[in-house]
């Protein structure tokens, strides 16, 4: 059996980027098909979805801009449009009227809920992966997101690998090699969090070490074998 020809064949990283782009395009396309004709664009949906994920369904304009990796004027314009559609309402804080808090309305919560089915769709798709593959994918995503953060391309997420409480490879147990100082508990790669409410950002000196220590896909596979 002959090998695949190398001519005109994209590199492996290029093909990975193509695959991730296809998933992102499918998510945006589905959102636009369902809501585009109602005048709710993808960025507006992201704002609604983010607010819906918050405990009190509210956030400051600066927080929204930071979480969505957009400039403050862009976030302000999107929020202004959503307010005109009665999907959000803005309030100025009494102690500091320079700070504007955005609150999700009942109508906005409903719109965000309709579009929040993608996690369910992707979760269903990942069920086709074995446990080993799911752990490897999670660890790879954590590593990829952290690399983009260190490059300054996206904001710091509340992940284990950049958290002050995270102690990588603190235990000899292959199933649970890491340690969380907040919960004082050992855990494995399958328990990595991407958005933890107890997150506390670690110092920059510790960050590279924590990222390298989290490269344990092979160990996870051995533990689950």
d(CA 137, CA 143): 10
Classify 155 in phi/psi space as left (phi over 0), alpha (psi -120 to 50) or beta: beta
User: Which value, to the nearest 10 degrees, does the dihedral of the CA atoms of residues 113, 116, 121, 126 take?
Assistant: -130
Topology at the third CATH level for domain 32-119:
Arc Repressor Mutant, subunit A (1.10.10)
pLDDT confidence of residue 101:
92
Hunting for tokens 């997150």 — which residue is that? 199
Look up the pTM and report it. 0.56
Burial degree of 102 (CB within 10 A; 0-12, 13-18, 19+): buried
The string of DSSP letters for the chain reads -PPPP-TTPPPHHHHHHHHHHHHHHHHHHHHHHHHGGGT--HHHHHHHHHHHHSTTSEEEHHHHHHHHT--HHHHHHHHHHHHHTTSEEEEE-SS-TT-EEEEE-HHHHHHHHHHTTHHHHHHHHHTTS-HHHHHHHHHHHHHHHHHHHHTTSSPPP--GGGBTTEETT-SS-SSS-EEETTTTEEE-GGG--SS-TT--BPPTTTHHHHHHHT--HHHHHHHH-
Paired strand residues for 90: 102
Strand order in the sheet with 178-180: 166-167, 178-180, 185-187
- Would you say 88 and 108 are in contact if contact means Cβ atoms under 8 Å apart? yes
- Would you say 138 and 192 are in contact if contact means Cβ atoms under 8 Å apart? yes
pLDDT (tens digit, 0 to 9) for every residue of the chain, 225 residues total? 444 454 445 677 777 777 777 776 566 655 545 554 456 777 888 888 889 888 788 999 998 988 887 889 999 999 999 999 999 999 887 666 778 899 999 888 877 555 556 667 777 888 888 888 888 888 888 888 888 878 877 766 688 888 999 999 999 998 899 999 999 999 998 888 887 888 888 875 555 444 444 443 343 334 334
Listed in order, the ranges of the chain carrying CATH 1.10.10.10 are 32-119
pLDDT confidence of residue 209:
46
Show the tokens assigned to 63.
């927080």
User: CA neighbours within 13 Å on the CB side: how many for 33?
Assistant: 6
pLDDT confidence of residue 38:
56
């Amino acid at each position: 059996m002959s090998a695949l020809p190398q001519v005109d064949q994209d590199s492996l990283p290029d093909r990975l980027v193509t695959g991730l782009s296809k998933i992102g395009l499918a998510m945006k396309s589905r959102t636009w098909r369902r809501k585009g004709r109602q005048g709710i664009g993808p960025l507006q949906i992201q704002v609604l979805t983010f607010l819906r994920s918050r405990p009190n369904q509210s956030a400051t304009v600066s927080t929204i801009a930071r979480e969505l990796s957009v400039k403050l004027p862009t976030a302000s314009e999107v929020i202004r449009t959503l307010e005109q559609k009665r999907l959000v309402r803005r309030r100025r804080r009494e102690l500091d009227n320079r700070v504007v808090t955005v609150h999700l309305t009942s109508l906005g919560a409903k719109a965000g809920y309709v579009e929040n089915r993608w996690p369910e769709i992707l979760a269903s798709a990942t069920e086709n992966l074995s446990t080993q593959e799911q752990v490897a994918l999670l660890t790879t995503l954590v590593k990829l997101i952290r690399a983009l953060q260190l490059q300054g391309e996206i904001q710091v997420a509340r992940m284990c690998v950049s958290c002050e409480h995270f102690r990588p490879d603190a235990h000899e147990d292959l199933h649970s090699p890491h340690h969380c100082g907040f919960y004082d508990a050992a855990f494995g790669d399958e328990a990595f969090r991407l958005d933890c409410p107890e997150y506390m950002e670690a110092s920059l000196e510790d960050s590279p070490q924590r990222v390298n220590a989290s490269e344990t896909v092979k160990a996870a596979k051995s533990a689950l074998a």
